[in-house]
Structures are given as C-alpha cells and as structure tokens.
Amino acid sequence: MKAGDTKLGDVLLEIGTEEIPSRFLPPMLETLRKQAAGHFGRLRIPFREILVYATPRRLALMVHGVAGKQEDLVETYRGPAWNVAFDPTGNATRAAEGFAKSKKVDVDSLKEIDVDGVRYVAAEVREEGKPVLSILPELLPAIIEELVFPKNMYWSDPSLRFARPIRWIVALAGAEVIPFSCGDIQSGRISSGHRFMGNKEVKIPDVASYMDRLYDNNVILDQEKRRQKLLTGIAALEREHNGVVELDPELTEENLYLVEYPVPFVGSFDERFLRIPEEVLITSMKKNQKYFAVRNLEGRLTNFFVGVSNNRAADMRVIREGNERVLRARLEDAAFFWEEDLKHPLASCVERLKNVVYQEKLGSVYDKAMQTRQLALWLCEELQLPDLSKLLERAALLSKADLVTHMVYEFPELQGVMGREYARAAGEDPRVALALYEQYLPKSSSDDVPTDDVGAILGLAERIHVIVICHSVGFDPTGSQDPYGLRRAARCVNEIIRGRKLDVDVEAAVRNSALSAKVDEATVGRILAFMEQRLLVQIREKGYEHELARLAISVRGRRPLQVFRLMDALNSVKDAEWFASLVTSAVRVRNILQKAGDVSDEVSPNLAASEPEKALFAEVVRMEPLVASSLRKNDWKGMVAFLSELSPVITKFFDDVMVMDPDATIRANRLAILKRCNGLFEEVGNLGTLKLQTGDGKTQAG
C-alpha cells in the first residue's frame, strides 16, 4: 500500500515477548481491540474490522480493510453576527476580515448560518486527510505503550514497561514495513516461530501470509483454532483410554494461553494416592501442574491425568514420564499432609484459632466463630428448628478448625472441603460434616445453595455477622472497593434464604448481631439500607421490574423470602389489564387526595348517592379484613386475587362518578371513601406510587 493510495489494505502489529502469564492474556485481547479501534477512529482512519490474537509469546493486532488515506476533516466555526461582519451594502467589515484570517480562509468563503433565529457568519475549515502510512509510525507505538497489565516490568529502557520484555515487533501495511522504534526494538518483518519446534527467525513477506508462516513454524496464533485443537486432542485421548476428562473451564482457558501449539498427553500416578480425598488430588493437579483430572465412565476418579505440552516431542514418553515424576512429588506432599492432619481430631484445632487474626480491629478467627455460633443458634430458634440446635452448635464450633490444618495451609481453596473430610474421619455427625463444607455455598452467583439447613443457617449467620462487624469499623463497600466481599456476602444471604425457603427476618438478625458486637443505631441503619439495596439489585437482575421490586421491598423488605414470593405473585399479573387499571385508579386516588388537603376519616353510607360509590365503599369494607389476613399469612396469591376483584369496582367508580361534586357534603363523603380506599392501597405497598412499563416500553403512571 503506497502513500496516498486510496485502496483498502490490511495492517499487522505483532508484539513478540518473553512468555506472558496466561491470566494476563484474555482480558488484554479486548483491551488491545478497544484501544486500536479508538485510535483509528480518533485519527479518522476507516477500516473494516479489527482482530486480536494472543499466545504466551506474542500479542497480534490485525486491522483489515484499512483505507490508504485519512478521511478529510470538515469543521464549521461560528463567527460574529452577520450584521457586525457585513455592513448594509454587503461589504466585509474588519470583524469579518479578522475572523476569516484567524481561520485561514478567504472572506468570500464565509457563510451565513442561523442559530436560534440570529444570523451569524461561519467559516468552514477543511483539513485534508493524510496518507495512512505517514500516521501509522506514530499510532502503533502509542498502542503498545498504552497497554497496561496487572503487573508490568521494565528491562533495558526504564521508560518502556510491558508484562514481559519485548523481543521483536512486526509492523506491516500489506507488504510494506511500518518503521518505528519502541524502546530499543526496531519494527520490521522478522517474527519468531515456536520456541522448540519453529525457526528462531521467521520472515513475514506480507500481512496475508502472516498466519500461514507462523503455522508453518508450529504457532497456532488464533486462540479459537488453538482451543479446537486442544479439545479435539483431549477427545481423542478420552476415546483411547475409555475415560472422561474433567474440562474445568478455568483450567482449559489457562492451558490455552500457556501454549502456542497444544499437545495433550495422558499420564498416571500410583493408585494408592486415590485414598486421599479426590478434591485434594484434583486441586493439586490443577493448581500446581495445570493437569485435567480423568474419571471412568461411572464417574469415579481414576489415577490418570491429562496434561497439555507445548512441545510435540519425537518420543512423548519422555514428556509424560517427566510430568509423572513432578506430580508424584506433589501427591507425596498431599498424602503427608493428609496423614499428619488425621493424627489429631478436628476439634483439637479449635483452640489454635485464637492465635489466628481475622482482622486487626475485629479480633481472632476464634472470636468470629464464637460470635457466629451465637447468631446461628438464635436463627435456629427464630426459624423454629429446635432439632437442629445441637448440630448447629457443633458445626459452628468446628466451622473454621480446618484453617489451621496442614492441607488447608498448602491449599487455601480447600477450606470447607477438608473440614468436611476431617470431620467424617473423626466420626462427627454426617450433617455436621456436610455443614462444614456447605457453609461456604454458594461460592458464586451460578453456584448451588446448601442442600441441608445446618450448613445453610451456619452460612447465613457468618455472612450476616461479617457484614455487621465490617460496617462497625468502617469497612463499608465504596465504589469498586469491597475488600471483605460484603456485597457478595449479602447476595449469598438472599440466595440461601430463597433457595432453602428460610423465612428469615434479616433486620432482626442484623440487630441481634449488632447487639453482641455493640454496634450503634446509626450503623445498624446503614447496614439495613445496604442489605435492602443489595436485595433490590438481585431482584432486578432476575428480570423483575424496578417499580414492582421497590413495592415488594416496602411491604416485606426485612424478609427476603416473602419479597421474592410477593414478586412472583405481582409478576404473574403485571401485564393483566385489570392490574393496569387498578394502578391507574390508585394513582388517581393518591393525586386527588393530595390536592384535596384535609379529608375526613368518617364515611356516611347514607350520603352515597350513586350505585358505583356505594359499591366501592362496600367493596373496600369487605376487602380490608381479607387483605389484612393475607398480609398476616403472607398469602400473596390470595392478596392479588382480592385486588383483582377490587379493580373493576373502582374503575366503574371513576367512570361514572364525579368526585368533586358541587355539593360540599357529597364531595367530602366521596373523598372520605377514596381515603379509605387509599389506606387499602398503602397496605399493599402503596400502589399509587407505581410506574409500570407498558407493552410498547413506555412508562405508565396511572
């Protein structure tokens, strides 16, 4: 692509480096794409598409369909008023000449524009686009220098920082090199092949042949093609060995960015290690060696593993045996930890928690566990589950004991898992052992909730207590900062309550925890507002309308289970015609009463002159005890059914009755009926404040 050529072409930027940590690469792909698109857009360089690729040793940017020339820039500048710029005879004044000179245009080229009815002169300034090749030598190094990784380093030139030292840069526009330097690296057309299976120097003649040249040197640049080769290779091994590989998504992604040419292989370890809990084996293989576990067709863990090599050796036995030796040493360590921990019952570890600091201002892990135990027992009593109290007390006592075991010290991610296993080995009640694991569930928004109420209540108690004590010392979440995971804790509280159908009074639980932690009322109010906001966010995430969510929270905000049930009931009727009519009527009632000022509470049935107003008053009187009973029983379907009966009655009232009757006595009585009706609406969350979405997406507020 020659300077000034208007034909479309392709631009390539490859940044060759030492091996970049795999976790840095997936997010960097999107960053690179956005930065490149931003620069090309800012500089008015048209292009068709941007593609980005990454391997451990290179980041590549390919911009297809790049124009040979910038788009022209046309800007219009407003000058003085027309009658100031030109005299009555049409001759330019000094104001017009000065404005034209400042914009470097002829006076004759000034135009007239109208702004809010006022005539002004305007200058149209056109900047002709430059050849793209003259811009790229500054644009491409700017893209490189703006890339920021979680950890950057510098080497020969302290002013240049990158994830790992840059060893080469390929920069081409079609077949032409884009010349620039980055640090002490000069751009060119020389790339590098696979570290073990390719040429050290690979000459790239043009952008079109770039990926083929790399593939010839055993570099699969496209991460999706690399993924496909990885998964195809693993599938072949599954068929060959009659097993099922556990394709952990995170581990798959990590392996994808650890290699430039994936070569899956099968290894094995001594069957005696299968006596260790399988989570330990899987974690050791995954964390230390990046291996996939293998199960048989019945789902049992086998003594095989699948690794991913970055080297297609002539004899893969050498690679397999080397990996087996490394894994054997890891598993020997795990077996030692397991056997050492089993020498002492889990309960013997509890006392050692007194020496483990949870947080400098909040005491030890032992203190937190004991405070959690108190709240868990209170929740058990509140939920009227007396049969669980002894199990809960034991589970709470042992809840953090595994933190001081050898295994969890080596593998912190196994907390809870090892608590369960050591409790089983010590002969603890199976539900206690299960609770030690399930107290940590759900671990993510897509994770399962506990399967048993012992672990569920223990998990609730700990999370509520942590939210309370962290707020008490000022560790409130702010913006993106939430070091103690309080938002996640609040989410888990609501998910557990919903998943296990535990009708927990969250406000009462917060106050109970606050009392033992000596938290002041202002902080309690802050905590309750935080919990309510998190509940509102979760309800909205589940697809419910914001206004309905706010209404449900206003009715039963302290009991999340009832909020979710009320939301389900409201959501089932929100599109019904009767519900829209009822909301419209409720808004009208509220607006009329606000304008009317003081309205009497007393209704005189004898003054009801028309059938619609008699019917409305009678219906409100009939509904009041029924709705009150539904609220007491949390019978949301029943409450919605009663409201559906009220809707046509109040709609008929507004269709046929003029509230503001000329007769002051009749008018006052009709307002009193509406006040009684409004009281009913406020009981169910104040329907008069609702703003619902109509079918066409517009907001309807009565």
**Same-domain check for residues 312 and 276:** yes
367 and 427 in a single domain? The answer is yes
Quote the CA–CA distance of 199 and 192 in Å, as a whole number. Answer: 7
- Cα–Cα distance measured from residue 647 to residue 523, given in angstroms and rounded to the nearest whole number: 42
Q: Alpha carbon of 149 to those of 152, 161, 565: distances in Å?
A: 6, 9, 45
Nearest to 177 by CA among 166, 191, 163, 167: 191
Cα-trace Rg, the chain? 36
Residues 38 and 120 grouped into a single domain: no
| Residue 358 burial (CB count, 10 A) | 17
Please state which of the ranges 27-36, 43-52, 448-457, 686-695 shows the lowest mean pLDDT. 686-695
| Chosen domain end from 83, 98, 127 | 127
Quote the pLDDT of residue 559. Answer: 93
Handedness of CA 455, 457, 462, 463 (dihedral sign): positive
160: confidence class by pLDDT, cuts 50, 70, 90:
confident
Average pLDDT in the 620-635 region? 92
CA 691 centroid distance within chain: 27
Q: How far is Cα 380 from Cα 700, in angstroms, rounded to an integer?
A: 44
The residues pairing with 126 across neighbouring beta strands, listed in sequence order, are 74
Q: Are residues 578 and 492 in the same domain?
A: no
Q: Nearest-CA neighbor of 624 among 673, 687, 680, 681? A: 680
pLDDT at 692: 52
Please give the Cα distance from 140 to 132 (Å, whole number): 12
Whole-number Å distance between alpha carbons of 55 and 255: 11
pLDDT attached to residue 700: 44
Q: Do 656 and 681 have their domain in common? A: yes
Q: Both tokens of residue 51?
A: 């593609």
* Structure tokens given for 151: 């950890």
Q: What is the mean pLDDT of residues 244-259?
A: 96
| DSSP, res 123 | E
For the chain, percent of residues with pLDDT exceeding 70: 97
39 contacts: CB under 8 Å, gap ≥ 6: 139, 142, 143
SS (H, E, C) 92-103: ECHHHHHHHHHC
Reference 678, options 582, 563, 572; nearest CA is 582
One domain for residues 203 and 283: no
Amino acid at 24: F
Strand-pairing partners, residue 15, are 59, 169
CA distance 295 to 283: 15
Q: Give the pLDDT confidence score for residue 530 in this predicted structure.
A: 94
Choose the weakest-confidence range: 227-231, 467-471, 504-508, 655-659. 655-659
Of residues 351 and 127, more confidently modeled: 351
Tell me: do 29 and 174 sit in the same domain: yes
* pLDDT, mean of residues 66-85: 87
Return the pLDDT at 548.
85
C-alpha span between 432 and 302 (Å, rounded): 28
Give the total number of structural domains in the chain. 5
Identify the bridge partners of residue 267 per DSSP, sorted by sequence position: 305
Mean pLDDT, the chain, rounded, equals 91
Estimate to the nearest angstrom the gap between the alpha carbon of 127 and the chain centroid.
44
Same domain, 398 and 501: yes
Of 541, 576, 593, the domain-final residue: 541
Q: CA dihedral in degrees (43, 45, 49, 52; nearest 10)?
A: -50
Cα gap 3→130, rounded to integer Å: 9
pLDDT given at position 694? 37
Rounded (10°) CA dihedral 568, 570, 576, 580: -160
Looking at residue 619, which CATH number applies to its domain? 1.10.730.10
CB 523 within 8 A of CB 471: yes
Q: Inform me whether the pLDDT recorded for 701 exceeds 50.
A: no
SS (H, E, C) 54-104: EECCEEEEEEEEECCECCCEEEEEEEEEHHHHECCCCCECHHHHHHHHHCC
CA distance 609 to 618: 13
Q: What is the pLDDT of residues 194-248, one digit of tens each?
A: 999 999 999 999 999 999 999 999 999 999 999 999 999 999 999 999 999 999 9
Kindly state the average pLDDT of the residues 504-522: 92
With a CB cutoff of 8 Å and minimum separation 6, the contacts of 280 are 334, 338, 407, 411, 414, 417, 418
Residue 116: inside a domain = yes
Least confident range of 119-123, 296-300, 367-371 = 119-123
Higher pLDDT, 596 or 13: 13
Q: How far apart (Å, rounded) are the C-alpha atoms in residues 500 and 383? A: 12
Say if residue 178 is in the same domain as residue 56. yes
- Whether 702 shows a pLDDT value over 60: the answer reads no
Give the 3-state secondary structure of residue 312.
coil
Give the structural domain span for 599.
568-700
Name the least confident of 332-336, 505-509, 589-593.
589-593
What pLDDT does 284 receive? 92
Please name the residues in contact with 638: beta carbons below 8 A apart, sequence gap of 6 or more. Answer: 626, 630
> CA-to-CA distance for 248 and 283, rounded, in angstroms?
11
Provide the greatest CA pair distance for the chain: 108
Q: How far apart are the C-alpha atoms of 379 and 505, rounded to whole Å?
A: 9
Distances (CA, A) of 40 to 11, 138, 220: 11, 12, 27
| Same-domain status, 388 and 494 | yes
Q: Which of 171, 169, 170, 174 is nearest to 208 (CA)?
A: 174
Question: Model-level pTM greater than 0.85?
Answer: no
Q: What's at 27, amino acid-wise?
A: P
Exposed/middle/buried for 634, CB within 10 Å: 0-12, 13-18, 19+?
A: middle
- Answer yes or no: is 558 within a domain: no
Please give the single-letter amino acid code of residue 276: I
The verdict on 534 and 445 lying in the same domain is yes
CA angle (68 as vertex; 65, 71 as ends), nearest 5: 95
Q: Is there a domain that residue 637 lies in?
A: yes
Q: What share of the chain has pLDDT > 90, as a percent?
A: 68
Same domain, residue pair 289 and 206: no
Assess whether the previous peptide bond of 442 is cis (omega < 30° from 0): yes
Q: How confident is the model at residue 32 (pLDDT cuts 50, 70, 90)?
A: very high
Name which of 452-466, 496-510, 572-586 the model is least confident about: 572-586
Alpha carbons 308 and 245: distance in angstroms, whole number: 13
Of 333, 368, 385, the one marking the end of a domain is: 333
Q: Distance between CA atoms of 282 and 302, rounded to whole angstroms?
A: 11
The H or E element that residue 308 is part of is: strand 301-309
The confidence band for 691, taking pLDDT boundaries of 50, 70 and 90, is low
Polymer length of the chain: 702
Confirm whether 556 is domain-assigned: no
Please check whether residue 2 lies inside any domain of the structure: no
Lowest-confidence range among 109-113, 250-254, 325-329, 427-431?
Answer: 109-113
> Is 467:530 a contact under the CB 8 Å cutoff?
yes
**Which of 1-5, 389-393, 692-696 has the largest mean confidence?**
389-393
Quickly count: other Cβ atoms within 10 Å of residue 329's Cβ: 9
Nearest one of 532, 403, 408, 415 to 467, comparing CA atoms: 532
Residue 473 CB neighbours (<10 A)? 14
Alpha helix stretches (DSSP H) within 274-358? 278-284, 316-342
Q: Categorize the per-residue pLDDT at 8 as very low, low, confident or very high, splitting at 50, 70 and 90.
A: low
**Residue 105: what pLDDT?**
86
Torsion sign over Cα 161, 167, 170, 171: positive
